[in-house]
A and B are shown apart, each in its own frame.
Chain A
């Protein structure tokens, strides 16, 4: 199409020139004027000689790599501050180290409280135990052998899989949509999503990375993975585990990261335990825990605040009333929606 148009434009230019509508000498004048500006700028430039560049300085090229070292920069800045600010800076340093020690102790206490609390809640509810099993803080990959990994079942499982696969398949017509399950445990849900034709991956900080039989799992936490995910690249996101132990501030961050990582039309589904169940199980631990499960309405509020829409809640599962799921989608800009893209 456009080659024909270009030929017409060239013909029009010939006509314009022939009819005298192109001012005579205009293009030469524009060229000359730019050359004058270029010469003036080049003459005013601070000269950069060849010897200023690393490649002609006679050194080994490989030895000249000069990476940015933040640790070094930090050390230099600290030394400079000590020199310039003297005693007042040293006082600040002392206070900071005391503060760090206090915060460390507090975090340690909170981790124990949270762990006890989650243990009791897990003992009370069979499904919650599976959902929460990925929420125990402070466990390492090495101790992963004793962990029961989440295995959501029954009507809740059907709802989660249906929400995710329907939204993702609707969105990505050309290729299997990309879905991430954070704190996926041994990856059973990832396998279920792959079986539904989705390009699903899992991430779990306490489970060794693996890639076999179409199941790909990375050893990474939800916040860590989503923080490094390029915006708008996930078609679906399933959050479990981490959502049960977040402080309110961290919950906001998680939701913002989730919203950012979703492509337009993408869906996030989270499965969590009810906070009422947590309080009923152990009110002391629930009150003292650093992080605790949130109500469905709170998740809806956070998701909506992050610009997500089409909120849906699944609750009152007869087999386990202590667990619920929430889903939300990133809106498709009207500009794209009207053309059926993406």
Chain B
């Protein structure tokens, strides 16, 4: 059995509010505290709201291996990975997936380089990391491919506090008054990044309006993180004459998000790459049926609680949405399965899995 360290610190490239990996890192700190370890978070960049809870990377203590372990929250190329590589302590990697460069570099060449670097750094860390754990089986398989000898799955500790936030009344009223004119409401939640493929959801909406539901609307919730891609989406919507039917809601408060979840009819996800995709579970929590393109970790996150499509041809997506909206028996079954899925994927379970991964390293000879 290994000597129990005094502290297990976490290192993350960037930590901000309302971000799934950042929230997971804060939760992991809580779990480490509860296990009796001293644990601080060190980041290259941090949101101002987290100042005081997170320290600059330069302050990362460098104690001898048996006293301090370091856990790297990997999701992009970063100097933080180099700080981990040169650290004398025992090393852990918590992998949240790195988007393939080909999906982003057309729009953000610098991001393309960063994700390429991230994958290179991930492979470079493999021989010196004691345990690589991932928030999905899909990500765990990638760790194995990158050369990690010991791996485990510890699900993402999703921020459930937002789920219990009451819906913002003004947004509900606005959405309800639009619904009174007819048509269904589609929803997609995710940062406006190219690999999230908002444009494919817009294509499916255009098909639906031509073929099934001429008054259907789409609400896109999420920060416009890639200006060029966001600009292209605005141009696209305008060119298709869908300006009144597609809403760019941007980054919104938890209450507003709850309003969108409670007012929508279906969540449609056409992402080309997802390491986990927390909004799928959030939608299930809000009894919203899910139609998603089955790529990367999406099938694993949805399991049997949504419609997972083998392709995202706009006609196929539109037909699937139409089926979910008109087949009430299917809709009810999906809602029930979704609630079951959220229960099975509880934060408490994720916390336990994270704690078990740490215990696994402690037990190792």
- Interface residues, chain A, with chain B CB atoms under 8 Å away: 1-2, 5-6, 8-10, 12-13, 16-17, 21-23, 26-27, 30-31, 33-34, 36-38, 40-42, 44-45, 48, 50, 52-56, 61-70, 172, 174-175, 178, 201, 209-211, 216, 218, 228-233, 260, 264, 333, 335, 339, 341-342
* Pairwise interchain contact A335-B232, C-beta atoms closer than 8 A: no
Further contacts, 18 of them, CB under 8 A, given A6-B307, A65-B44 = A2-B308, A5-B323, A5-B330, A6-B309, A22-B315, A23-B210, A37-B236, A40-B235, A41-B228, A45-B228, A50-B110, A50-B113, A53-B113, A53-B114, A68-B48, A228-B53, A230-B30, A231-B161
* Pairwise interchain contact A62-B86, C-beta atoms closer than 8 A: yes
* Pairwise interchain contact B27-A230, C-beta atoms closer than 8 A: yes
- Chain A neighbourhood of B304, CB < 8 A: 1-2
Considering the complex, give the chain B residue whose CB is closest to the CB of A260: B161
* Pairwise interchain contact A53-B107, C-beta atoms closer than 8 A: no
* Pairwise interchain contact A67-B43, C-beta atoms closer than 8 A: yes
Considering the complex, give the chain B residue whose CB is closest to the CB of A30: B203
- Chain B neighbourhood of A52, CB < 8 A: 110
How far apart are A179's CB and chain B's nearest CB, in angstroms?
11
* Pairwise interchain contact A37-B239, C-beta atoms closer than 8 A: yes
* Pairwise interchain contact A61-B82, C-beta atoms closer than 8 A: yes
A333 to B117, CA, bound (A): 45
A-B contact pairs, 17 of them (CB 8 A): A2-B304, A6-B310, A13-B316, A13-B319, A23-B211, A33-B239, A38-B232, A40-B232, A41-B228, A41-B231, A45-B227, A45-B228, A68-B51, A68-B56, A175-B352, A233-B30, A260-B161
Given contacts A41-B228, A68-B46, contact A229 B333 (CB under 8 A): no
Scan B211-247; emit 1 where CB is below 8 A from any A CB, else 0.
Answer: 1000000000000000111011101100110000000
A1 to B34, CA, bound (A): 40
A42 to B229, CA, bound (A): 8
Give the most central of B30, B33, B46: most A CB within 10 Å: B33
Q: Is B2 located at the chain interface by the 8 A CB criterion?
A: no
* Pairwise interchain contact B228-A42, C-beta atoms closer than 8 A: yes
* Pairwise interchain contact B56-A12, C-beta atoms closer than 8 A: no
Q: Is B328 located at the chain interface by the 8 A CB criterion?
A: no
- Interface residues, chain B, with chain A CB atoms under 8 Å away: 23, 26-27, 30, 33-36, 38, 43-46, 48, 51, 53, 55-58, 77, 79-80, 82-83, 86, 106-110, 113-114, 117, 159-161, 164, 199, 202-203, 206-207, 210-211, 227-229, 231-233, 235-236, 239-240, 287, 304, 306-310, 313-316, 319-320, 323, 330, 333-334, 337, 339, 343, 346-349, 352
- Chain A neighbourhood of B206, CB < 8 A: 26, 30
* Pairwise interchain contact B239-A66, C-beta atoms closer than 8 A: no
* Pairwise interchain contact A67-B232, C-beta atoms closer than 8 A: no
* Pairwise interchain contact A335-B287, C-beta atoms closer than 8 A: yes
- Chain A neighbourhood of B160, CB < 8 A: 232
Contact of B207 among A30, A48, A66, A230 (CB under 8 A): A30
- Chain A neighbourhood of B77, CB < 8 A: 55
- Chain B neighbourhood of A44, CB < 8 A: 228, 231
* Pairwise interchain contact A175-B320, C-beta atoms closer than 8 A: no
- Chain B neighbourhood of A333, CB < 8 A: 164
Contact of A209 among B36, B310, B348 (CB under 8 A): B36
* Pairwise interchain contact B333-A34, C-beta atoms closer than 8 A: no
Contact of A65 among B57, B240, B320, B333 (CB under 8 A): B57
Given contacts A216-B35, A218-B33, contact A232 B82 (CB under 8 A): no
Considering the complex, give the chain B residue whose CB is closest to the CB of A218: B33
Contact of B348 among A70, A178, A230, A264 (CB under 8 A): A178
A68 to B334, CA, bound (A): 45
Contact of A67 among B44, B117, B210, B236 (CB under 8 A): B44
List the 5 shortest-distance A-B pairs measured between CB atoms, nearest first.
A211-B36, A67-B56, A231-B161, A41-B232, A37-B235
* Pairwise interchain contact B117-A55, C-beta atoms closer than 8 A: yes
A229 to B30, CA, bound (A): 8
* Pairwise interchain contact B82-A41, C-beta atoms closer than 8 A: no
A264 to B106, CA, bound (A): 45
- Chain B neighbourhood of A218, CB < 8 A: 33
A228 to B30, CA, bound (A): 9
Contact of B316 among A9, A23, A178, A233 (CB under 8 A): A9
A142 to B34, CA, bound (A): 23
* Pairwise interchain contact A65-B79, C-beta atoms closer than 8 A: yes
* Pairwise interchain contact A210-B113, C-beta atoms closer than 8 A: no
Given contacts A53-B113, A172-B348, A178-B348, contact A9 B164 (CB under 8 A): no
Contact of A339 among B232, B339, B347 (CB under 8 A): B339
* Pairwise interchain contact A232-B161, C-beta atoms closer than 8 A: yes
* Pairwise interchain contact A67-B26, C-beta atoms closer than 8 A: no
A69 to B23, CA, bound (A): 21
How far apart are B230's CB and chain A's nearest CB, in angstroms?
8
